[in-house]
Amino acid sequence: MTTAISSSLDSSSLDSSTHDSSASISRLRDTVKGMRILVIDDDDLLCQEIKIRLEHHGHVVDTALSGEQGIIQVELFRPQIVLVDWLMSGMNGLDVCRALRKSQLGEFLYIMVFTQHDNEDLLVDAFDAGADDYIPKPISPRVLLARIRAGERLLRLQGEVDRERRDGHRYLDIVEVMILGIDIQGNITLVNRKGCDVLGYDEREIMGCNWFEAIIPQEYRGPIQAIFDYAVDGNMEGLGFFESQLVTRKGERRLIAWHSSVIYDQGKISGLLFAGDDITNGRQADLERKKLAKDLQQAQKMQAVGNLTGGIAHNFNNILASIIGYTELAQELIADSGEKNLMFFLESVHSAGTEAKSLVETLMSFSRGAEGELKAPLLLPVLNDVERMLKPVLTSAVQLNISMRSQIPTVLANPEHIHQMVTNLCINARDAMNNSGKIDISLQHHAHLSGTCGSCHEAFEGEYVELRVADQGSGIPNAVLGSMFDPFFSTKDVGKGTGLGLPMVHGTMHGYQGHILVDSEMNKGTAFRLLFPVTSVAQVEELAIDSLG
Question: Which of 537, 403, 547, 372 has its CA nearest to residue 469?
Answer: 403
Q: Strands 110-115, 81-85: parallel, antiparallel or unpaired by DSSP? A: parallel
Backbone angles phi, psi at 371, to 5 degrees: -130, 160
Q: Going residue by residue through the chain (549 aa), what tens digit of pLDDT does each one get? A: 444 333 445 444 433 443 343 344 344 344 445 899 999 999 999 999 999 999 999 999 999 999 999 999 999 999 999 999 999 989 999 999 999 999 988 888 999 999 988 888 999 999 999 999 999 989 998 999 999 999 999 888 888 887 877 776 676 777 778 888 889 888 998 888 888 889 999 888 889 999 888 888 988 888 888 878 877 777 665 566 778 888 999 989 999 888 888 888 888 888 888 888 888 888 877 777 777 676 666 666 656 666 666 666 667 777 878 888 888 888 888 887 778 888 888 888 888 878 677 666 655 555 555 454 556 566 778 888 778 777 777 878 888 888 876 678 888 887 878 888 888 898 888 888 988 899 999 999 999 999 989 888 888 999 999 999 999 998 998 888 877 887 767 776 655 555 667 887 888 888 888 999 999 999 899 999 999 998 875 665 565 455 444
- Residues written for the chain: 549
Query: Among the CATH numbers 3.40.50.2000, 3.40.50.2300, 3.40.50.150, 3.30.450.20, which is that of 175-278?
Result: 3.30.450.20
* E strands, 266-389, in order: 268-278
- Kindly list the domain boundaries of the chain, sorted by start residue: 5-165, 175-278, 286-368, 379-542
Ramachandran class of 518: left when φ > 0, alpha when ψ lies in -120 to 50, beta otherwise: beta
475-479 contacts at long range (C-beta below 8 A, 24 or more positions apart): 475/432, 475/520, 475/521, 475/522, 475/523, 475/524, 475/525, 475/526, 476/518, 476/520, 476/526, 477/522
Do you find a cis peptide bond into 223, omega within 30 degrees of 0?
no
Strand partners, 265: 268
Q: Would you state the pLDDT for residue 50?
A: 94
Instruction: Report pTM.
Output: 0.41
120-127 contacts at long range (C-beta below 8 A, 24 or more positions apart): 125/94, 126/86, 126/93, 126/94, 126/97
Mapping DSSP onto H, E and C, the string for 37-104 reads EEEECCCHHHHHHHHHHHHHCCCEEEEECCHHHHHHHHHHHCCCEEEEECCCCCCCHHHHHHHHHHCC
CB contact at 8 A, 368 and 310: yes
- DSSP letter (8 states) at residue 192: -
Residue 22, helix vs strand vs coil: helix
Q: If one looks up domain 379-542 in CATH, what number appears? A: 3.30.565.10
Query: What is the rounded distance in angstroms from the CA atom of residue 264 to the CA atom of residue 86?
Result: 40
∠ CA 191-197-203 to the nearest 5 degrees?
Answer: 40
Question: Could you tell me the CATH superfamily of domain 5-165?
Answer: Response regulator (3.40.50.2300)
Query: What is the rounded distance in angstroms from the CA atom of residue 149 to the CA atom of residue 112?
Result: 12
Radius of gyration over alpha carbons of the chain, in Å? Answer: 45
CA distances 347 to 328, 330, 336, 342, Å, are 9, 10, 15, 9
Residue 151, helix vs strand vs coil: helix
